[in-house]
Structure 1
Amino acid sequence: MKKFSLFLLAIIAAILLAACGNEKSGDSNTKEKVKVKIGVNGSDGVQWPILKEKAAKEGIEIELVEFADYTLPNNALANGDIDLNAFQHMAFLAQYVNESGNDIVPIGSTMFAPLGVYSEKIKDISDIKKGDKIAIPDDPSNQARALRLLEAAKLITLTDDFGLFGDPSKIAENPLNLDIIPMVAQQTPRVLPDVTAAIINNGVAGQAGFSPGEDPIFKESGDNESTYPYVNIIAARAKDKDNKAFKRILELYQEDDIKNAVTEDTKGGSLLVVLSQEELNKTFEKLLK
């Protein structure tokens, strides 16, 4: 009888140990919590509360770290002060990597935010006349993008070797002799009283009180491969590109609830774009030196 009792106790102990083992391996509802710091340039987007709530249900606590300008979030990521950032398109990141040598990579696509031409003086792009002043962003990737937009509007012609980071010196033809004025992106809305038109980043326009889906008199089209370099991304240090929590955050970001919320909030000014990892890698590699 004593031997039987000991045998029974051994069985019970084994069952309890197995149950504990299953709980640690994730078979129970208990999940190990992970905190992820994401650097952003403006944390008031409708996607963030939705994303934070969904991630929290899966044990991922998202902390948004807001930066005042575009020059800081990549340095913070490279230095390990944050885990991810979500504020830039691929062309901007490639320029940073080319100049700094820091190994930061896109792990997924988020939004395409078209550049727009805004004006307080004219209602149509065709109303631009000889000698008019046009303000554009001066950071290399967006400056080139703005000049491409002026070319799409048939106001200027660019040289064949313009590339992704061309500047006003690469203007081949300027029949209206437009005065094109590069400046810090955040200043472009503020100079509208002093220029005929300004090309304004989508996010900057929103912060200035414009509706990027309705207010531009001309804007980019986001429906072809040529716009991939300007698709916004979530970026990570290269060593963390396969981190499971980071990948899960990306998947949650790309779901329909966020897509619909952003489209409605921006009145179509921003569009969720989901690129495959192959498309992402191919585009980014072309942008690197």
Structure 2
Amino acid sequence: MNKKKLLSLSLALALSLSLAACGAKEEAPAQTPADETPAETPAETVTLKVAASPTPHAETLEQCVPILAEQGIDLQIHEYSDYVVPNTAVEEGDEDANYFQHVPYLDNFNAENGTHLVSVAGVHIEPMGIYAGKTASLDALADGASVAVPNDVTNEARALLLLEAQGLIKLSDDAGLDATPNDIVENPKNLTFTELEAAMVPTVLSEVDIAVINSNYALQNELNPVEDSLAIESSDSPYVNVLVVKEGNESNEAIQALVEALHSDTVRAFIEQTYAGAVVPAF
């Protein structure tokens, strides 16, 4: 091969390598400018499951759904009609929290069932009321009149204390928050007592002379505690309804976000406007 052909071949090879290098450079992925922050990956949604009585608890929790959604928390509300399963569900981990009970009931439930449930926040008070059944007023109660009351320890005692406040009975001085009809030391009208599960008390109203009903069950049965009751607890009742979790979960971020939402102006306004005194904010 002569020198001229050799020189031409060398120049062609050099040009080919140069074009290949340029092509590789042009195909390299663009780099993010130093002054631009890469887009963050959206945070994963947290699910929070809460057991509640339908009224007013579940209705109140509904007001918290959009508040928590803005924080990436999906609040799922599961309604229960009794006072036992919501607690066992939290104890067993099927629910993250519950909202339906007051502290005296909670303390008694833990003692009787060996559960480990704790209150994380007080939300509202539902004043318990006395309602007319076959007898239209407390003054008209005849000798031997029948009275329906809840049969769980704390709510029965609460009902008896309300009856005592109306002068219908007198309890022994040491009866306290565990009072039962056995603790009645004075019963001038010889009242007889029908003890039922709290949810069942409104259903027998037409069969008894009067009944003492928890406000959530009164509302579910279209009874307005303020307008329809013959007597009602004062607004300073110690039976504040609380948000409850299993011990150890009190500081959970989603739980604390729910506490903040339940104590918001939005929830306060909802309670006051919706229940007009039948349910009273406790925060």
The answer to whether residue 250 in structure 2 is matched with residue 241 in structure 1 is: yes
The equivalences for 1:1-289 within 5 A come to 19=37, 23=40, 30-42=42-54, 45-223=58-236, 227-228=237-238, 230-274=239-283
Structure 2 counterpart SS, 1:209: coil
Which residue identity is paired with 1:135?
A
1:41 CA displacement: 2.0
Structure 2 counterpart SS, 1:36: strand
C-alpha contact 1:39 1:86 (8 A) present in aligned 2: yes
Structure 2 counterpart SS, 1:210: coil
How many residue pairs match? The answer is 252
1:59 CA displacement: 1.2
C-alpha contact 1:43 1:64 (8 A) present in aligned 2: no
Structure 2 counterpart SS, 1:126: coil
CA 1:60–1:43 in structure 2 vs 1: closer, same or farther (change >3 Å)? farther
Query: What is the TM-score of this pair, normalised by structure 2?
Result: 0.83
1:35 CA displacement: 0.8
Structure 2 Cα separation of the partners of residues 46 and 241 of structure 1: 23
- What does residue 284 of structure 1 align with? none
CA 1:187–1:257 in structure 2 vs 1: closer, same or farther (change >3 Å)? same
Return 5+ residue gaps in structure 2 as ranges. Answer: 1-30
1:160 CA displacement: 1.1
Structure 2 Cα separation of the partners of residues 78 and 156 of structure 1: 38
Which residue identity is paired with 2:255?
F
C-alpha contact 1:211 1:267 (8 A) present in aligned 2: no
1:32 CA displacement: 4.1
Structure 1 counterpart SS, 2:227: coil
Moved over 3 A (4+): 11-16, 43-46, 120-124
Structure 2 counterpart SS, 1:239: coil
C-alpha contact 1:213 1:266 (8 A) present in aligned 2: no
Return 5+ residue gaps in structure 1 as ranges. Answer: 1-10, 25-29, 275-289
1:132 CA displacement: 0.8
Structure 2 Cα separation of the partners of residues 82 and 242 of structure 1: 16
Structure 1 counterpart SS, 2:168: coil
1:242-261 deviation digits (Å, cap 9, x = unpaired) = 11221111111112221222
1:3-39 deviation digits (Å, cap 9, x = unpaired) = xxxxxxxx977655xx45x957xxxxx5442110001
1:47-99 deviation digits (Å, cap 9, x = unpaired) = 23321111111211100122231110111000000101001111111111111
CA RMSD of aligned residues (A): 2.0
Structure 2 counterpart SS, 1:187: helix
Which residue identity is paired with 1:267?
A
C-alpha contact 2:169 2:186 (8 A) present in aligned 1: yes
Structure 2 Cα separation of the partners of residues 181 and 121 of structure 1: 14
C-alpha contact 2:133 2:207 (8 A) present in aligned 1: no
Structure 1 counterpart SS, 2:119: strand
C-alpha contact 1:124 1:218 (8 A) present in aligned 2: no
Structure 1 Cα separation of the partners of residues 275 and 235 of structure 2: 15
Structure 1 counterpart SS, 2:261: helix
Which residue identity is paired with 1:265?
T
Structure 2 counterpart SS, 1:240: coil
Query: What is the TM-score of this pair, normalised by structure 1?
Result: 0.81
Structure 2 counterpart SS, 1:199: strand
